[in-house]
Amino acid sequence: MKTQTELAQGLATNLKQQAKNVVFVQWQQTCLGRIQNAQIQEQRKSWMIYDIVRAKYNDSIANQVV
């Protein structure tokens, strides 16, 4: 069975392979909830990936993985 860190690493790797607009949609759904006024050009892909991993796991795992 995979550990939380391994699962988070897999998620981060998968997100890094996706296009920025795909990551942006995932980031909006995971991190912003009902607030949808963010613009894609204002966001960095790496920061969005970090936020998604942090939201699904925790800060310490996100710091290790991303």
DSSP state of 19: -
DSSP state of 18: S
The residue ranking higher by pLDDT, 65 or 45, is 45
Residue 36, pLDDT > 80, answer no
Residue 66 lies in a domain: no
Residue 28 lies in a domain: yes
Residue 59, pLDDT > 80, answer yes
Domain of residue 48 covers: 4-61
Residue 51, pLDDT > 90, answer yes
Contacts of 53 (CB under 8 A, 6+ apart): 8, 11, 12, 15, 61, 62, 65, 66
Residue 49 lies in a domain: yes
Residue 22, pLDDT > 90, answer yes
Asked if residue 8 lies in contact with residue 56, where contact means CB atoms within 8 angstroms, the answer is: yes
Question: For the chain, what is the domain count?
Answer: 1
The per-residue pLDDT of the chain, averaged, comes to 91
